[in-house]
Amino acid sequence: MENDIVQMKNITKIFGSYKANDNISLKLKKGEILALLGENGAGKSTLMGMLSGLLKPTSGEIIINGKPAKMENPREAKALGIGMVHQHFMLIPAFSVLENIILGDEPLKAGRIDYKKAAKDIEFLAGKYHLEIDLNAKVSDITVGMQQRVEIMKALYRKANVFIFDEPTAALTPQEISQLMKITHALSEEGKSIIFITHKLKEIKEVADRCVVIRMGKVIDSVRVAETKEAALAEMMVGHKVNFAIDKKEVNQEKDIFKIEKLSVEAHGQLKIKNLDLTVHSGEIVGVAGVDGNGQSELIEAVTGLRKCKTGTIMLNGKKIQHQSARKIAEAGISCIPEDRQNVGLILPLTISENLVLKSYYKKPISNKGFLNYKKINEDGRRMIKQFDIRSQSEKELVGDLSGGNQQKVVVAREISAQPDLLIAANPTRGVDIGAIEYIHEKIMEQRNAGHGVLLVSFELEEILKLSDRVVVMHEGQIVGEIDPRDTSSEELGMLMAGKQQAEEMGEIS
């Protein structure tokens, strides 16, 4: 009992009529690394929001260092030694690293900020915990990995004893991940306690001592990691046996549907795509793996006509499509499920049926001499709601009122019903519930099985390996390797993603 640094007792949190956390209890020892495992929406972030003072529990008690803690705001949580490293970094891009770290706890000298003293203190901590950071750089100019180290340093600078890492590996390269693991162990060895929020089983095995599994707002179990198998953890997380296999039909994959040759694309004055070649055949799903920010978004934007190509050709069914408008490209037969459905894929304050015609409203029979036929729009809407199993009140319901999974179904319905020759899917299942994930995967497979091409861009390696017929790896705007998903492990894929050329690796192996 003595060395329980954090105790959360019977915590319940209700938002409106929705119970995000239901009677959750949790303990954390000094120096312990505790994994908090659960799916998106299971209630992990809500729970940690309360521990870090951002949210107040509806009922229940938080005890820190043996004393009941009333945490009304983040400042009080911080004073009790709780440090949160958010999934979406809480940094100010326009400020320097140093300013970001000291913000809110600035050392003063004669009324002004004592930047020298601050830098000295931080450099000492950085040496102790092997956190490599550049204090004078602007946050907008540093890598994602360094941004994370800045977040960790922010907590260290505030003398945190308990670190909450919220999905810390989501945007990191495998190398950066292993560096993070080292830092995590170093913190634990210095007696700091860590809560590691994740839904990735492998990371838990690698780093955690103990694992608490949460599902639908309730604690399912608390287990010692060393004694538990990954499959068992997965089952606890999801609530049923997880089936990793998917049905792949043999289809004719001879025809080149889509071909990119020597494509270069610029963004913000930098060359983001360099001389890239890529082909998608009929009946084929080509997975594009890679760490976020290596040119995937620019590739999609270039293909869909949202960004200018500097050089090179993009061909669909043998016809050049680059330098055409987004609308012309869509008409030529390319559909796209964008990564960010709420801001890019949908217009939330419009109705479901309006969103469903977002790419076809200007064509007959919906548009006639500049006027829209709303009767037809709503009829089509009703039909597609049925066909794609979109759970909603009516076709006139606003898309913003739907759940994440159903919103994504609206996007999928619109894009697939355009009967594209090439479907681009960018992280199509990010942030949707398990049921919808399976449904969306099925729909993507259907496209393939019908002999169309699919380009799947995803940061989830599992998803890529599961669906793709062929996987290419993007690094710094280039394709650095191609693998067969049937006989490649995610480790190998990880090496490629980190920029290791396939050729060198081959050389090392042979």
CB of 112 to other proteins, least distance (A): 5
Q: Measured from the CB atom, is 241 or 375 closer to other proteins?
A: 375
Beta-ladder partners of 260 = 278, 314
Task: From residue 478, give the alpha-carbon distance in Å to each of 144, 151, 175, 427.
Answer: 19, 30, 19, 19
Q: Which of 66, 103, 120, 252 binds other proteins (CB under 8 A)?
A: 103
Q: Which of 3, 10, 59, 92 binds other proteins (CB under 8 A)?
A: 92
Q: Which of 75, 120, 224, 229 binds other proteins (CB under 8 A)?
A: 75
Q: Measured from the CB atom, is 93 or 293 closer to other proteins?
A: 93
Q: Measured from the CB atom, is 79 or 450 closer to other proteins?
A: 79
Give the per-residue SS3 of 255-298.
Answer: CEEEEEEEEEEEECCEEEEEEEEEEEECCEEEEEECCCCCCHHH
Which ranges in 388-433 belong to alpha helices (H)? 404-417
Q: Measured from the CB atom, is 335 or 468 closer to other proteins?
A: 335
CB of 75 to other proteins, least distance (A): 3
Q: Which of 27, 29, 31, 74 binds other proteins (CB under 8 A)?
A: 74
Q: Which of 13, 149, 154, 448 binds other proteins (CB under 8 A)?
A: 154
Beta-ladder partners of 83 = 163
Contact assessment for residue 455 and residue 422, using Cβ atoms and an 8 Å cutoff: yes
Instruction: Please report, as residue ranges, which positions from 269 to 308 form the binding site for other proteins (by CB under 8 A).
Output: 304-306
Q: Measured from the CB atom, is 154 or 441 closer to other proteins?
A: 154
Rounded to 5 degrees, φ, ψ at 336 are -145, 125
In order, the DSSP letters of 352-365 are: HHHHHTTTTTTSTT
Give the per-residue SS3 of 118-148.
Answer: HHHHHHHHHHHCCCCCCCCCEHHHCCHHHHH
Q: Measured from the CB atom, is 329 or 480 closer to other proteins?
A: 329
Establish if 16 lies at the interface with other proteins (CB under 8 A).
yes
Beta-ladder partners of 176 = none
Contact assessment for residue 479 and residue 299, using Cβ atoms and an 8 Å cutoff: no
Q: Which of 49, 174, 283, 295 binds other proteins (CB under 8 A)?
A: 49
CB atoms within 10 A of CB 291: 23
Tokens for 9, please give them.
């007792």
CB of 197 to other proteins, least distance (A): 16
Establish if 454 lies at the interface with other proteins (CB under 8 A).
no
Q: Which of 13, 44, 86, 443 binds other proteins (CB under 8 A)?
A: 86
CB of 377 to other proteins, least distance (A): 10
Instruction: Please report, as residue ranges, which positions from 211 to 230 form the binding site for other proteins (by CB under 8 A).
Output: none
CB of 334 to other proteins, least distance (A): 11
Establish if 73 lies at the interface with other proteins (CB under 8 A).
yes
What is the C-alpha separation between 424 and 338, in angstroms, rounded?
Answer: 8
Pairing of strands 422-426, 334-337: parallel
Contact assessment for residue 176 and residue 15, using Cβ atoms and an 8 Å cutoff: no
CB of 151 to other proteins, least distance (A): 10
Q: Measured from the CB atom, is 358 or 434 closer to other proteins?
A: 358
CA-closest candidate to residue 5, choices 161, 154, 219: 161
Residues in the chain: 510
Tokens for 14, please give them.
């209700």
- Residue type at position 72: E
CB of 77 to other proteins, least distance (A): 8
Residue 302: exposure state from Cβ atoms within 10 A (0-12, 13-18, ≥19): buried
Binders of other proteins: how many residues, by CB under 8 A?
A: 59
CB of 348 to other proteins, least distance (A): 7
Window contacting other proteins (CB under 8 A); options: 214-222, 290-298, 342-350, 494-502:
342-350
Window contacting other proteins (CB under 8 A); options: 101-109, 125-133, 165-173, 249-257:
101-109
- Residues at the site binding other proteins, with contacts judged by CB under 8 A: 16, 49, 52, 54-55, 73-76, 78, 84, 86, 90-95, 99, 103-106, 108, 111-113, 154, 304-306, 325-327, 330, 336, 338, 343-350, 354, 358-359, 361-362, 367, 370-372, 374, 393, 396-397, 401
